[in-house]
Every structure is written in structure tokens, then in C-alpha cells.
Amino acid sequence: MTQLIDELFIKHFDNDLLRQHNDQALFTVPAGRLVISTDGHVISPLFFPGGDIGSLAVHGTVNDVAMSGAKPLYLAAGFILEEGFPLADLEKIVISMAAAAKRAGTPVVTGDTKVVERGKGDGVFITTTGVGIVPEGVNISGDRAQPGCAILLSGSIGDHGVAIMAGRENLQFDTTIVSDSAALNSLVADMVAAAPADIRCLRDPTRGGLATALNELAQQSGVGMVIDETRIPIKSEVKAACEILGLDPLYVANEGKLVCICNAAAAESLLTVMRQHPLGRDAAIIGEVIADEHGFVQMTTAFGGRRIVDWPVGEQLPRIC
Amino acid sequence: MKYISEFRQQDLARQLAKAIAQTVDPARHYRLMEFCGGHTHAIFRYGVQDLMPDNVEFIHGPGCPVCVLPTGRIDNAIQLAERPDVILCTYADLMRVPATGRNSLLKAKAGGSDIRMIYSTQDALKIARENPEKQVVFFAIGFETTTPPTAVAIKQAQAERLTNFSVFCNHVLTPAAMQAILDAPQPVAIDAFLGPSHVSTVIGSRPYEIFAERYAKPIVIAGFEPLDVMQSALMLIRQLNEGRHEVENEYSRAVTRQGNQKAQALVQEVFELRPQFEWRGLGLIADSALKLKNDYADFDAEQRFNTPAIQASDVKGCECPAILRGAKKPQDCKLLGTVCTPENPMGSCMVSSEGACAAYWSYGRVRG
């Protein structure tokens, strides 16, 4: 069994480092600052419109590395399989993961597989770790937002979360929405090349959505924010699905979007760069950073009022009426 | 999104705001109780208060079914869920409601109880069909809006002879709550009501006529979209200025005077009045809730499992009861934001996104 799995991985992830059959991957890194990030992926359903746990496991970690401004280089992957998990499904996941890694230019160079007893896992869990190098002169961190900075968003929100929810068996509604799951490193590379010193914070608004990402940045930087609801791109299908389920799209997960906080003077030119990239076509300037000792994220509503966009509480729960 | 976005348009909101500003009498104060949690949520989420003149005050009403459910009933539900033979099906917004001893359905689920979050009564029936060896209990709550689907499920279970399905019934009645607020020993100063919208699609606007007449209070049936709330406020302000007290229907796209008679008949067939029922904040109210009729007793979880009546006390210092009566505002509660937050709610008003405390805390506290 283990051998079969190993062969499966080597066959699809195929690269020089993996083919050495060592327990580790040895490589030379260019000079500079090294970034490392790790992320465990547990998701139901394993296959969803627009992706699966394999591609998601690559995108998630590549994006976490890229949000430092780094160029991601290599990935490591750990698989926990539940006994009895269909090998055909595993192969589908590995093929998708290998394709995603290839597209992102981040080969999976080492890995590990464990099998747990039936009932002690949920099909498959995948943990990925990524390393990357931050270019000289780039200084991106969640604590660098300052009053006056502009807040940019790379595209429409909520696609991933709604696609996942629509895929769950107890929610019977059909939709054409697909997950936005994507590796953002090439978009980040374009942005960093265009305005290396002006980008202050990058964050991918995954679990907890845009609202959570903005609150995290506001807290880390000790600032407030004001965003404009009318400028936040949301697909009408996503809006409608959220309306039916009583969810707020600001809190719905994304897997292929980023928030960028940059110096105001550079905002327009950076927006142009983002819009030239396929993953930033619908990018928008959605608000600005303000001084606020409470660290509130506020939103001017499309209706003309103003409200707080608060931290989320656990999972969003649909309302009854 | 058509038929929704139309009711959230900023230019129309501005026009309405202007009309309201021109209509209000600067010499008087307007206290409008928005009856439902849906209104409260819209007011905070869209920042409606920002568009109203200072002398128009919204007083948040008790129309949030999660908020008015007394702690004892949550304790009952947890006891049911803890039985190894039971699968408890519940709407998701009950999961975090605090029970006695800092317990909640969410904690009971984490502790191993089989609790399923469902979206419709049909999901509960499906679970019952798929688990014939288990007892599937549906935790039914809500005002008149959610009662007909419960009635449908019970009738369906009977037709299918689904003997492992039962309902823990907590359905309550809107007019009874309105009456309790108006008859309170120390009544809250309320000039007029924004009346329920979804509830009224079922019961119609007629049941409110007696309140408009007897208590001389204008009532406008108001939809849950922000423009509905503003338009209804304007209609109430006009009535007050003109000294009228009538039931008017702003939500005419869904509500008629008679309501949905088919749904009403279905509810009458399956349910009957309880002599009294406890409401959080309002206490025991006669003829304010429903239970299953004897013909459907087989599907009554209270009878099947002999659930005890539990008298539970709320957390000390929690102002939910006064807030639900409109006597206090969330910002008057000492627990708000200190020990009681959406993350760790002490009272029910902090749990549901329709609860006044949660809405105020999540959307409104920047105003201080």
C-alpha cells in the first residue's frame, strides 16, 4: 500500500529532488531573506466546483508565502489518509495538486504519508509547507498599515465559500459559481516589481473573508479603516446565494484574492498593474486606512449609512427568518 | 437579486430621508418600536439611523424568536440531545444560545451529542427516514412564519408513518407579545409600531387592528429591506402628526389583510394554544404559544420524552429582559462588550444576528 502511494506521488509530482528518494530535499537558495509557511487543509466536500483539496493545498500555502512579497520556491506535503479512501480519488487529488504546483512554479520536493484507521480521519487531510525568498527592498508585513494608505482588493469576494456551500449535500441549490482557488504568486510578483517600496501589507482573505483580513491588519497595525460597500466587487450570483442563506459575503471565504495596503500616491498605478493580470482584472480601491485607537473597520454602506465591519464569531450561521 | 436591490437604493434612501426630515415636527420626539429582529438587523446593517433625524428614535422590539426563548427550553433541548438514542435537528442560530451552566447546543455537540444544523423541516424528515434506529427530534422555534413548515412536516411524518420523528414545539404568537408590551405594568413609552413583515404574510394585517384601535397606536406593516423601514417610518410619522392611529401596510407586495389562509388552516389543524408560555423578558404570557393537538400527540417530543418544565434563571446583570421589552438599550447593559460579546454571549440578544445587542455590538458601537 505505502509503496503504491509513494509511486503515485513520485509519478505525478515528478521532479529531480523527489526522484533522489531521500527523506529530505536538499537545494541551494539564492541569497536573501527566506520565508516559510505551513497550512493544514481539511475540507468537505473534497471535490468542489472550481477545484479540490489538492489544488487548494497548493494555492493556500503558495499564497501564504507570497503575501510576504516573496517568490515561493518549493513545497513539502504531508498526507493523512483514512483507511479505505478510494485510490482513484487519491490519484485525482494528486494529479490536480501536481498540476497546480506546476502552474505556480513551486514543485513538491518532499513529503510524507500516513494512513489512519477508518473513522479517525475524513477521507484525506493535506498539510503543505512552502518556502520562498523575499526580494531586496521589499518590506511587507501586517503591521505596516498607516493612516492615509489605500486599501486595494484584487477581485470579487465570496466565490469560494459559496461554491463550497453549494457543493454540500444538505444544501440543495444549483449555481454556476465556481471557487476562485488560484495561486497568487505571479500577481504578487507583478505588483512587487511595479511598486516594491510602496506595498505595505498583503493578505489573502481566506477563512473569515474580507472582513476578517481587514480586522487582522487593522489590529496588527493599530489603525482603523473605512471601506466603501459600493466599490467591493461581488458577483450577483454570490450576492443572491448569500441573501438566501442569510450570510454576509464580507465574511465568506476566498482562495484566490488578495488585499493590498499601499501608499496612497502609488494606489492608482498599482491598480493598473493589478488589472493587467488575469487574477486582478476586477481589482478595485475599496477604502483607506484611518487613525482610530479602537481599530474599527467601518463601511459606508451602499444605502448611504455607516456601520462597523466586525470580527466574525465562529462560523457564520444561517438565520431562520 | 432583482426585487431586492431595488429596496436598497441609495438615491431613493436620500429622497426618503429628505421627506422624513421635512415631515417631522421638530418640537416632538418620535419613539418607533421596530417589532422584528429583521428590522433591527436592517437598521444596523445598512446604517438607517444615520439617515433619520435626531428626534426619530428606534426602540428594538421582541420579535427575535431566538432571543425570546427562555433558558429552560434550551436546557430541555440539550437534555434531549444528550440522550444516546436521539438526533436533535435545529436551525443554526440556536446553536450558541446560552443555557444553564454556560452550556449551549454547540458545546453539547462538541461533547458528543448528535445535533444537526438544518435549513428546513424537510431536512429533519430526511434524517428521520435515513436513521430508523434513532429518535429524530426537530427543535421547532419561531413566530407564525416558521409554524406552517413545522405543521407540514408533522403531517408528512404522519402520512409516512415515520414513528421516529417528533417535534419539540416552541412556536410563539406575535400579537400576544405586542399585547404584553402594551399591557406591561410599567409600559415603555412607544408612539407607534413598525409591524412584522414575514409573520404578516401568514397572519395578515388584520390581527393588529385591535391594537391600533384599543391602544391608539399607529402600526405600519413594514418589510425587512432598509427602504421598507424608512418608508414605514415616514408613514408612522405622518399618522402621528395627523393624530391618526391605523394599521397601514407598507409591505403590500407580500402582505394582505387576510394573510395566507391555507397556511392558517394548516396551523389550526395541527396546533392549539398553550394556556401560557414563558417568554424571556416578558415572563409568562397567556395564550401566547402553540402546542401539538391531541390528534398529533404521537409527534410531540414533550410527551414522547416526558420533558420536565425547567425554571432557569438568566445571568445576573444581563439586561436582555429589559432590552426585549424596549425598556433599555443594549448600551445600557453593563455586561455589553465586557463579559458579553458575540464570541462569548451571556444573553440571547447577543447571539442571533437579529438580536439587538449583537446588531448594536457588531454594527453600531462606533457611535458610542
Chain A: nearest CA to B358, how far in angstroms? 11
Are the Cβ atoms of B93 and A319 closer than 8 angstroms? yes
Chain A: nearest CA to B340, how far in angstroms? 13
Radius of gyration of chain A (CA): 20
Cell, residue A250? 464580507
Strands A224-228 and A259-262: unpaired
**Domain span at residue A121?**
2-134
- Reported as a single tens digit per residue, the pLDDT across B114-133 is 999 998 899 999 999 999 99
pLDDT band per the 50, 70, 90 thresholds, residue B346:
confident
Chain A: nearest CA to B284, how far in angstroms? 24
Residues A262, A149: Cα–Cα separation, whole Å: 6
Identify the pLDDT of residue A320.
47
Among the partner-chain residues A303, A314, A320, the one whose CB lies closest to the CB of B10 is A303
* Residues A195 and A287 occupy one common structural domain: yes
| Residue A301 touches chain B, beta carbons under 8 Å | yes
Is A317 inside a domain boundary? Answer: no
Last residue of a domain, one of A80, A105, A134: A134
CATH number at residue A6: 3.30.1330.10
* Complex ipTM value: 0.71
Mutate to test the interface with A, among B12, B125, B366 (most CBs of A within 10 A): B366
* Residues A228 and A163 occupy one common structural domain: yes
* Residues A118 and A182 occupy one common structural domain: no
Last residue of a domain, one of A108, A134, A160: A134
Size of interface A-B (CB pairs under 8 A): 97
| Residue A18 touches chain B, beta carbons under 8 Å | no
Residues of A in contact with B342 (CB under 8 A): 310, 313
SS3 of residue B242 by DSSP: helix
Is A141 inside a domain boundary? Answer: no
Question: Percent of chain B having pLDDT more than 70?
Answer: 98
Residues B353, A2: Cα–Cα separation, whole Å: 49
Q: Is B82 exposed, middle or buried (0-12, 13-18, 19+ CB in 10 A)?
A: middle
- Reported as a single tens digit per residue, the pLDDT across A43-54 is 888 998 899 999
Higher-pLDDT residue of B360 and A151 is A151
Among the partner-chain residues A294, A301, A320, the one whose CB lies closest to the CB of B93 is A320
Is A256 inside a domain boundary? Answer: yes
Residues of B in contact with A310 (CB under 8 A): 342, 361-363
Is A140 inside a domain boundary? Answer: no
* Residues A116 and A253 occupy one common structural domain: no
Q: Is the bond into A45 cis (omega within 30 degrees of 0)?
A: yes
Last residue of a domain, one of A87, A103, A134: A134
pLDDT greater than 70 at residue A8: yes
Q: For chain A, where are the alpha helices, taking DSSP H only?
A: 2-13, 16-19, 53-66, 87-104, 159-167, 185-194, 209-221, 236-245, 267-276
pLDDT band per the 50, 70, 90 thresholds, residue A318:
low
* Residues A293 and A193 occupy one common structural domain: yes
* Residues A163 and A303 occupy one common structural domain: yes
Q: Which amino acid is at B343?
A: E
**Which residues touch B185 (CB under 8 Å, ≥6 apart)?**
none
How many structural domains is chain A composed of? 2
* Residues A252 and A289 occupy one common structural domain: yes
Residues A93, A88: Cα–Cα separation, whole Å: 9
* Residues A163 and A191 occupy one common structural domain: yes
CATH number at residue A259: 3.90.650.10
- Reported as a single tens digit per residue, the pLDDT across A104-155 is 999 999 999 999 999 888 899 999 999 999 999 999 999 999 999 999 999 9
* Residues A113 and A173 occupy one common structural domain: no
pLDDT band per the 50, 70, 90 thresholds, residue B343:
confident
Residues B132, B165: Cα–Cα separation, whole Å: 9
pLDDT greater than 60 at residue A36: yes
- Reported as a single tens digit per residue, the pLDDT across B246-305 is 999 999 989 999 999 999 999 999 999 999 999 988 889 999 999 999 999 999 999 999
Place of cell 529530505: A24
* Residues A19 and A90 occupy one common structural domain: yes
- Reported as a single tens digit per residue, the pLDDT across B27-46 is 999 999 999 989 998 998 88
Residues of B in contact with A241 (CB under 8 A): none
Evaluate whether A124 touches A78 at the Cβ level (below 8 Å).
no
- Number of residues in chain A: 321
Residues B235, B219: Cα–Cα separation, whole Å: 9
* Residues A122 and A53 occupy one common structural domain: yes
Can you name the CATH fold of B1-314?
Rossmann fold (3.40.50)
* Residues A289 and A205 occupy one common structural domain: yes
Name the residue ranges covered by the structural domains of chain B.
1-314, 320-367
Strands A224-228 and A284-290: antiparallel
